[in-house]
A and B are shown apart, each in its own frame.
Chain A
Amino acid sequence: MPLKRLPDKAPELTAFEAGYLVSPNGEWRSVRPVIDMERCVRCGQCYLYCPDGAISPEISVDYDFCKGCGICAKICGKGAVAMRKESDYAQLHQRK
C-alpha cells in the first residue's frame, strides 16, 4: 500500500480525514463499463444502483473506483452500457 500521500501530522482523533483514500480499486477490474452517450437518456439508474458510487449523477464512470461488477450494464433499460474486456485497453496503452 503506498503510504507516501499520508499527511505529515498524525490526526488528533482516531481517524484520518474523512474520505481520505490511499489506493484506488480500479485494478480489480477484468471488464469495464463503457457508456454510449448517444443511447443514454440520463435516467440515472446506473448511478443509483452502482454499489461503489463510481458513476456520477451526470453519468460518467470513475475508472479509479469502478470494480467492473456489471450491475450498470444489467440495469440499463436502453442497453447503453457495454462491458468491454480490460485487456483490450491494456494493449491500447502498450501500443502508445
Chain B
Amino acid sequence: MSARDLDAREFFFGHKACAGCGGSLAVRIALKVLGERTVAVLPAGCMSAVGFNFPQLAFTNNALITPFAAAASVMTGIEAGLRRRSVKNVRVVGFAGDGGTADIGLQALSGAIDRGDNILYICYDNEAYMNTGIQKSGLTPHGARTTTTPHKGSRRPKKDMLAIVAANGVNYTASASIGYLDDYMRKIKKAAGITGAKYIHVLAPCPTGWGVNTDETVEIAREAVDVGFWPLREYENGTWITNRAPSRPQDLERHIKRQGRFKIEKRYQED
C-alpha cells in the first residue's frame, strides 16, 4: 500500500497529542486503512486522553473509551452486539497502549483471543505509561529511565507480547513500526481480511518519554528496525515470518545513545 491508495479523509484529526507523537500517527493511519465503518475502542491511555477532550471529539468514526483493563472485553461486547443486530461490514478495532496491553489489559486480551472473537487489537507501544508521566510498564526495555526507575533505568527486560499472544492461540499477529508505514498498512489490511482475533504491535516512539526531538520519532522508529532493536515479524497459521532483516546492526550503540532515556548518570552506572 502507498499514500495514494489511502482514504483521503481524516478519521483522527485535531487531537491534542504532543507534536511528533508516534501513537497518534499509528491510530491515524490505521483508521485511514480500515475506513469509516469501524468502531474504535480505546482504554485509558494517551490516545483516549488526546482524542476525547470534551466537548471535542477527534474521531470521525464511532469511538469510545473503556475501563483500563477492559479494552478487549468491550471489543467483544461491541462485536457481539453488532452481530445480534445484524449490522454487517463493521470492524471493531482497539487501540491500547503498552500498559493497557501488556500489564493491565492482558487478561481481557487473553480472554478475547481464547474466545476467538472477530476483533483487531492494535497495541501502540511507546514503552512506558507516557500519559501519566512516563512510569515503567511491562514493555519498557532494559536500561530505559522512567520516573519510577529514575537512576539506573528499568531492571527488567521487555515482555515479548507477540510470543504471549501467539501462545494464547491468536489467528494473526504481527509487529510493525511507524517508521515503515507501508509495512504497517499492509499488515492492517491483511488482518482486516482475517476472521478471528488479530493482534498488531506497533512501535510508536514518544518524543517526551524517549528524550528525542519531535521531528525524530519516525526516524528513530525506522532506525529501531534497521539496527535489530525491533524486528518486524508476522505470525500466521503457526509459522513466524521475518519481514525485514536488520540492515545496519553496527549502528545499535548510536541508536541507544541518541535517546535521552538511556542516559544514566555516572554515579549510578555499573562497571
Contact = CB atoms under 8 A, between A and B. Distances in A.
A5 to B, nearest CB: 10
Given A68-B19, A74-B216, A74-B218, A48 B6 contact: yes
Contacts of B213: 70
A49 B218 CA distance: 8
Interface of A: 3, 6, 15-25, 28-29, 43-45, 47-53, 56-57, 65, 67-71, 73-75, 83
Given A50-B25, A56-B8, 10 more contacts: A15-B57, A16-B57, A19-B14, A47-B3, A48-B181, A51-B19, A69-B19, A69-B20, A71-B218, A83-B215
Given A19-B13, A71-B20, A43 B3 contact: yes
Interface residues of B, number: 37
A73 B215 contact: yes
A64 to B, nearest CB: 9
B16 to A, nearest CB: 7
Nearest to A5: B55
Given A69-B20, A69-B214, A51 B60 contact: no
Interface in B208-265: 213-219
B60 A19 contact: yes
Contact of A75 (B16, B21, B61, B218): B218
